[in-house]
Amino acid sequence: MGVAILSDRVHPHMIGNDIGCGMTVFRTSLSAHKLKPQKLADRLRVLQDYTDPAEGQAHLRSADLPDDLAVTAIGTIGGGNHFCEVQVLAETPDVELAAKAGVAKGDVLLFVHSGSRSFGASIFADYAEVGSEGLAAEDERTAAYLKMHDLAVRWASLNRQIIAQCAAAALRCDVELVVDSSHNLIERYGDGFLHRKGAAKADVDLVPLAGSRDAKSFLLKPIGNKPEALASLAHGAGRKYDRASMHGRIGKPKSVRNALSRTSYGGRVVCEDKQLLVEEAPQAYKNSEDVLAQLVEAELATCVGVMTPVVTFKTARGADERRSKR
């Protein structure tokens, strides 16, 4: 679900290799009553093959980033719990705040979860040996790390925008940014450094909270009156079971495994990597509604919107093909 730690030192290993990982929500011009999940799923398969270096360079330049910065990875989702999901805003408990955010009940949203891909990994590789001791604030390597870290956070945000643009082109719709929220990053906080690992920034107007691919997700309004929360919120429901154990928890019959490609909402899941399909099964995650209730009870946030999944795209390649492409 996430952790926020304040320290007088910088700890690269707390953030890991996916620097800048986050979630971005867009409002689309699609009509909810016209959605056909299977057709949407088929169209989203093009997300697998975003490999236009020239276009990637143009995107990087437009964001004032070096145009050779991991250009072959820009516009890619990655593995693990990353995804691009079409959702419907099913409820707006706070209509006024929803309107302020530019959304309304019945809107079709695009929810993208991804990070800095190989760029972040290359940065972390240069600092992996630092270990739990971290880096002193005055260490010259600290400034160098934070400079690259900040580039990775910007790169990751751009990556999510490009994924959304590719999805919008495939779905033949327009998209408009609702919220962009990073949850793997380091920031100056008072006299120290605030490390957020899987914890969304809560000193903003809106934060997404992701459920599993067969559960509700939410748009939250942070309350921000709890100093002990370090201006942070959970970014998702969090895992209940680790990836390895899921292979024993999901039944072996082919019919059971095939059922993982559909949801109780009538939605579709595009994930040709059968191992990943099992490891990221809905049963692996905690109940997102319970997590929301805990945040509300703790007076950390209020619910602005409730989203239900229509199509979740993870990968259109099998495990062997994904490994060969690395």
Write a three-state SS string for the chain: CCEEEEECEECHHHHCCCCCCEEEEEEEEEEHHHCCHHHHHHHHHHHHHCCCHHHHHHHHHHCCCCCCCCCCCCCCCCCCCCEEEEEEEEECCCHHHHHHHCCCCCEEEEEEEECCHHHHHHHHHCCHHHHHHCEECCCHHHHHHHHHHHHHHHHHHHHHHHHHHHHHHHHCCCEEEEEEEECEEEEEECCEEEEEECEEECCCCCEEEECCCCCCEEEEEECCCCHHHCCEEECECCECCCHHHHHHHCCCCHHHHHHHHECCCCCEEEECCHHHHHHCCHHHECCHHHHHHHHHHCCCEEEEEEEEEEEEEEECCCHHHHHHHC
Give the chain's largest Cα–Cα span.
58
Backbone angles phi, psi at 175, to 5 degrees: -130, 150
The answer to whether residues 313 and 164 touch, using CB atoms and an 8 Å cutoff, is no
The pLDDT assigned to 51 comes to 66
The pLDDT assigned to 1 comes to 58
For 219, the domain range is: 3-325
The pLDDT assigned to 324 comes to 47
* Cα–Cα dist 318/303, whole Å: 37
**pLDDT tens-digit profile, the chain (326 residues):** 579 999 999 999 999 999 999 999 999 999 999 999 999 999 999 999 776 789 999 999 999 999 999 999 999 999 999 999 999 999 999 999 999 999 999 999 999 999 999 999 999 999 999 989 999 999 999 999 999 999 999 999 999 999 999 999 999 999 999 999 999 999 999 999 999 999 999 999 999 999 999 999 999 999 977 899 999 999 999 999 999 999 999 977 778 888 999 999 999 999 999 999 999 999 999 999 999 999 999 999 999 999 999 999 999 987 555 444 54
CATH number of residue 216's parent domain: 3.90.1860.10
End-to-end CA distance of the chain: 28
Domain count within the chain? 1
The pLDDT assigned to 93 comes to 98
Residues in contact with 142: Cβ distance below 8 Å, sequence separation at least 6, in sequence order: 10, 135, 136
The pLDDT assigned to 326 comes to 47
Q: pTM of the predicted model, to two decimals?
A: 0.95
The answer to whether residues 93 and 305 touch, using CB atoms and an 8 Å cutoff, is yes
* Cα–Cα dist 55/169, whole Å: 14
* Cα–Cα dist 47/315, whole Å: 8
> Of 215, 203, 210, whose CA–CA distance to 300 is shortest?
203
Please count the other Cβ atoms lying within 10 Å of the Cβ belonging to residue 243.
15
| Active-site residue list | 235
pLDDT, one tens digit per residue, over 178-236 is 999 999 999 999 999 999 999 999 999 999 999 999 999 999 999 977 899 999 999 99
